[in-house]
């Protein structure tokens, strides 16, 4: 995995990276991202925010106005990827994962609140040997999955062959469990989210692929077939999370 030590000035080497991906969704960032930083002040917790080809400049402007100090200290790494018209979660999540430096890295959707000391909780449990954490709540926190960096690489990250919306989180979890890792359910106190309407959920997905429920079913079927065929490593044959990323408005990083 890559390190961004030459691109940022972290206070200490982070143990945990909390990464958020977005395509627009500046309203969710306003509501949650700064609150999540405030709730995780520990120097061993790092944040990554990936702006995945937002159509509006609002996300970039908000970051410039609100996250400059956090970027300067290395608390936050901000990445911008251009040129992707549609949103398909597996690729941006893989890119954001690779931008992190923590031994444990956790997806935190833009509409999620971590609550106080979530990162510290992950660090303590990871030190005890836990390599997989997941949400068991049937709400917008279901994508809250934290994985040890080496284990994530071992299974090839999120499956980028999935079409559009859905199932990439379940698939990642089930492939890891198929290798014998039981994981740990994240306590409910850390799982807070703003529920989205169906229209909000479908924003930026490729409409030609059909309704998001249909996209989810296609991905579910593909995942179940892979598991039946004992294919537990995704993205075989190409580098997962490959992208050209503008980091902190200062550098261009080529992830291969």
The pLDDT of residue 8 is above 70: no
8 located within any domain: no
What mean pLDDT comes out for the span 134-139? 86
36 located within any domain: yes
The pLDDT value given to residue 10: 52
Identify which of 217, 154, 205 has the alpha carbon closest to the alpha carbon of residue 180: 154
Structure tokens given for 73: 């200290």
Q: What pTM was computed for the model?
A: 0.92
78 located within any domain: yes
pLDDT grade, residue 7 (50/70/90)? very low
Residues 169 and 133: their CA atoms lie apart, in Å, by: 12
11 located within any domain: no
Residues 221 and 207: their CA atoms lie apart, in Å, by: 20
118 located within any domain: yes
What mean pLDDT comes out for the span 26-55? 96
Neighbouring CB atoms inside 10 A of 3's CB total 10
The pLDDT of residue 96 is above 60: yes
247 located within any domain: yes
What mean pLDDT comes out for the span 3-20? 69
Q: What is the CATH number of the domain that holds 185?
A: 3.90.550.10
56 located within any domain: yes
Which of the two residues, 222 and 6, has the higher pLDDT score?
222
The pLDDT value given to residue 187: 97
pLDDT grade, residue 11 (50/70/90)? low
DSSP annotation of 197: P
3 located within any domain: no
pLDDT 10s digits, 139-190 = 789 999 999 999 999 999 999 999 888 899 999 999 999 999 989 999 999 9
The pLDDT value given to residue 255: 96
The pLDDT of residue 202 is above 70: no
What mean pLDDT comes out for the span 200-223? 79
* Chain centre distance of CA 36: 14
Largest Cα–Cα distance of the chain, in whole Å?
A: 49
* Chain centre distance of CA 152: 12
Task: List Cβ<8 Å contacts ≥24 apart for 31-34.
Answer: 31/111, 31/194, 32/110, 32/111, 32/112, 32/113, 32/194, 33/67, 33/110, 34/66
Q: Which domain holds residue 24?
A: 16-255
Question: Which of 56-65, 172-181, 197-206, 217-226 has the lowest average pLDDT?
Answer: 197-206
Residues 71 and 67: their CA atoms lie apart, in Å, by: 6
The pLDDT value given to residue 198: 59
For the chain, the domain total comes to 1
């Amino acid at each position: 995995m890559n390190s961004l030590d030459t691109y940022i000035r972290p206070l200490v080497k982070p143990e945990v990276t909390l990464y958020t991906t977005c395509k627009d969704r500046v309203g969710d960032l306003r509501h949650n991202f700064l609150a999540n930083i405030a709730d995780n002040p520990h120097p061993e917790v790092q944040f990554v925010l990936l702006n995945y080809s937002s159509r509006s400049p609002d996300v970039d402007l908000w970051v410039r106005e609100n996250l400059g100090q956090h970027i300067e200290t290395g608390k936050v790494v901000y990445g911008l990827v251009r040129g992707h018209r549609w949103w398909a979660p597996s690729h941006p999540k893989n890119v954001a994962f690779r931008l992190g430096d923590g031994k444990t890295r956790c997806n935190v959707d833009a509409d999620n609140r971590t609550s106080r000391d979530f990162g510290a909780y992950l660090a303590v449990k990871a030190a005890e040997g836990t390599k997989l954490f997941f949400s068991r709540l049937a709400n917008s926190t279901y994508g809250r999955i934290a994985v040890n960096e080496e284990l994530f690489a071992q299974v090839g990250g999120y499956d980028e062959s999935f079409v559009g919306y859905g199932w990439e989180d379940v698939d990642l979890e089930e492939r890891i469990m198929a290798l014998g890792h039981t994981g740990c359910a994240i306590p409910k106190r850390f799982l807070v989210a703003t529920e989205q309407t169906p229209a909000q959920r479908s924003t930026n997905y490729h409409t030609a692929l059909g309704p998001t429920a249909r996209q989810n079913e296609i991905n579910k079927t593909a995942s179940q077939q892979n598991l039946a065929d004992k294919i537990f490593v995704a993205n075989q044959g190409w580098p997962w999370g490959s992208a050209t990323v503008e980091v902190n408005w200062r550098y261009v990083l080529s992830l291969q």
